[in-house]
Copies of this chain bind each other. A is one copy, B any other.
């Protein structure tokens, strides 16, 4: 089932408009290409409406935001909404600064997001109006664990219901939920946290998966999460003596590039709750 979602990306080659931070933007572009999509980046307010019009999906990531790009996010999101495109929000660092928290909240007021993906601290900030985000990483005290899993599932379903969006909270255990079902995913490796931008990459890739699977959005979002996590496992298995986080970064994108639907179906580790 999830493998089929990946194959649809390769078949449909969805064009994804990204307004994203300049730290990880190159990796976002390459991972969208790796999974079968086609990326385009544009954040200038006078450029974004035309660009988003020719795309199938819009990925808004608020890392390294500035006043110009925030205006670009609003204009692109409004236009993409009118065109019924897929729109994804990655609230990087929400809770870490007033500007980031406010920007995420403002965007959520004006734009209906197909999906929202972040770490637990960022999503809690959006849900509860405040958070304890430690920079761009989740606060340890917030982490989803086997012990608090029932609570976390309740939380993500509630937030999905409240927003009408698919909500993906990623970390050691990933949760992907609409208001009814929640995929609990246990792919991935802790070493992925030693590479900048695996979250940003996932958001770009998830947008491509959603565009290519309009009739199975929840499965598409879960398939993107499993693809990233499984690629982290496969990439790690190829690591050799002397390799470190920089080579690991390449190996993960390489694994996405070589992933087939069958491999994904075999390697995805999830339960539906």
Q: A141-149, A169-177, A247-255, A265-273: which one contacts chain B?
A: A247-255
Interface string of A55-80 (1 = CB under 8 A from B): 10000000111111000000000000
Q: Is the CB of A253 within 8 A of B258?
A: no
Q: Does A46 contact B (CB under 8 A)?
A: yes
**A33 CA to B23 CA, complexed, in Å:** 13
A245 on the B face (CB < 8 A): yes
B38 touches A67 (CB 8 A): no
In contact, B195 and A47 (Cβ under 8 angstroms): no
- Give every chain B residue within 8 A of A23 (Cβ-Cβ): 25-26, 29, 41
Does B244 contact A50, Cβ atoms closer than 8 Å?
no
Collect the chain B residues with CB atoms within 8 Å of residue A196's CB: 26, 29-30, 33, 39
Q: How far is the CA of A33 from the CA of B50 in the complex (A)?
A: 35
A24 touches B26 (CB 8 A): yes
Min CB–CB distance A175 → chain B (angstroms): 24
Task: State the number of copies, please.
Answer: 3
Scan A6-50; emit 1 where CB is below 8 A from any B CB, else 0: 000000000100000111111101100110001111111011001
- What are 20 A-B pairs with beta-carbon distances under 8 A? A22-B22, A24-B29, A26-B27, A29-B197, A30-B196, A40-B93, A44-B64, A44-B67, A47-B99, A50-B96, A54-B96, A54-B134, A194-B257, A238-B242, A242-B255, A245-B254, A246-B250, A247-B250, A249-B250, A250-B250
**Distance, CA A66 to CA B44, complexed state (A):** 5
Q: Is A82 an interface residue (CB 8 A)?
A: no
A179: B residues at CB distance < 8 A: none
Check if A243 is an interface residue, CB within 8 A of chain B.
yes
- Residue A15 contacts which of B54, B134, B249, B250 (CB distance < 8 angstroms)? B134
